[in-house]
Amino acid sequence: MKQIICLEPGKFERRDVPEPIAEPGKVILKVKRIGICGTDLHAFEGTQPFFTYPRVLGHELACEIAEINTKDIKFKPGHPVTLIPYFPCNNCIACRNGKPNCCTKIQGAGVHIDGGMTQYIQIPEYALIDGEGLTSDELAMVEPMAIGAHAVRITEIRKDEYVLITGAGPIGLGVMAFAKISGAKVIAMDVNDARLEFAMKYFNVDFTVNALENTMDQICKITGGEMVTAVIDATGNKRAIEGGLEFLAHGGRLTMVGIQKESFCFNHPEFHKRETTLRSSRNATREDFDHVVENIRNGHVNVSALISHRIAFDKLPDLFAGLLDPKLGVIKAIIELD
């Protein structure tokens, strides 16, 4: 079978490798779509933490069952599925406390172990997500949407509260979508007006703010001077993370779903007087994946609108670097294998 591997930052290689053989308790999946996310782009750039080379990238996958080696599975070959692409140890303190998404020994496909830029991939049966009724494009969008859904859930977004979401990339848009589903009044902030217009048009955000234009005045006007009760950062930008505090109301919550390699800091008196709740959001759980699938099925979130570019699998090594060019206007690129 054909496989594409990132040998080192900036370098892909095509390889022919043997097809996997299903081990006990495992299933073989035929990969049909691969979403390209920030993790893949940062790995190609050499700026992704938790990463080693060489590595087969890719974890946003639309697949169908190819081969089964377990008696407990309800699916048959040909059934559409996606997967939870982070595999926990099920034994550490995080796993025992119901947080397998931040397992101390987690193995993330395309990060810690090889991922889905390949024609067939073997995974544990327990990681499957039923894709009945979803298109391949929709299935490839489930995982990034689950990241956003998880951030919204752990931030405990409430109906009618003002929520500021910084960063209108695919993850930020997912956060916006599920904050809206939770009933929040969503404020989208970004430096790119086209992204903000996209968020308004396709994800029905209530307000948009350009981060380069008098942000404090804009947030004050929107909230009647009370500021927002929740900020979710989806930029991973140090300045944006540290600046989020100034928009936060007293008693508010600040969640970081974007990731930053450097240290960040807040003014302690400003942080303290708000009795700020600070948290990070990592990966997602089955609860989040199921929530996303349900909302795609019932039409509450338009994930197909996110797909702006398509690339044939065999063309990927030649075209991948171009996706980093802001002039291309990529929102979400999808690799097609059929």
Structure tokens at 254: 């600040």
Please tell me the predicted confidence (pLDDT) of residue 69: 87
Q: What is the pLDDT of residues 208-219, one digit of tens each?
A: 999 999 999 999
Give the confidence band of 259 by pLDDT, cuts at 50, 70, 90.
confident
- Residue given tokens 């490839």 in the structure block: 140
Q: Average pLDDT of 104-108?
A: 96
Give the confidence band of 1 by pLDDT, cuts at 50, 70, 90.
very high
Q: What is the pLDDT of residues 80-97, one digit of tens each?
A: 999 999 999 999 999 999
Please tell me the predicted confidence (pLDDT) of residue 38: 86
- Relative to beta strand 228-233, strand 307-312 is unpaired
| Nearest-5° Cα angle at 295, 294 to 301 | 155
Q: What is the pLDDT of residues 21-79, one digit of tens each?
A: 989 989 999 999 999 998 899 899 887 777 889 999 999 999 999 999 887 778 899 99
Q: What percent of the chain has pLDDT over 90?
A: 90
Q: Report the C-alpha gap between 247 and 244 in whole angstroms.
A: 6
SS3 letters for 239-289? HHHHHHHHHEEEEEEEEECCCCCCCCCCCHHHHHHCCCEEEECCCCCHHHH
Q: Report the C-alpha gap between 319 and 309 in whole angstroms.
A: 11
pLDDT at residue 156 is higher than 90: yes
pLDDT at residue 172 is higher than 80: yes
- Relative to beta strand 128-130, strand 162-166 is unpaired
Q: What is the pLDDT of residues 237-256, one digit of tens each?
A: 999 999 999 999 999 999 99
Q: Partners of 209 in the beta sheet?
A: 189
Give the confidence band of 326 by pLDDT, cuts at 50, 70, 90.
confident
Please tell me the predicted confidence (pLDDT) of residue 72: 73
Which domains does the chain show, CATH number per domain?
2-140+302-336 (3.90.180.10), 150-280 (3.40.50.720)
Q: What is the DSSP string of 319-330?
A: HGGGGG-GGG--
Distances in Å between the Cα of 261 and the Cα atoms of 50, 153, 154, 329 are 10, 24, 22, 25
Q: Average pLDDT of 132-158?
A: 97
Please tell me the predicted confidence (pLDDT) of residue 48: 75
Q: Report the C-alpha gap between 235 and 190 in whole angstroms.
A: 9
Please tell me the predicted confidence (pLDDT) of residue 184: 98
pLDDT at residue 176 is higher than 80: yes
In whole numbers, what is the pLDDT of the chain averaged over residues?
A: 95
CB 50 within 8 A of CB 111: yes
Structure tokens at 137: 């494009």
Give the confidence band of 260 by pLDDT, cuts at 50, 70, 90.
confident
Number of residues assigned to the chain: 338
Structure tokens at 199: 């968020």
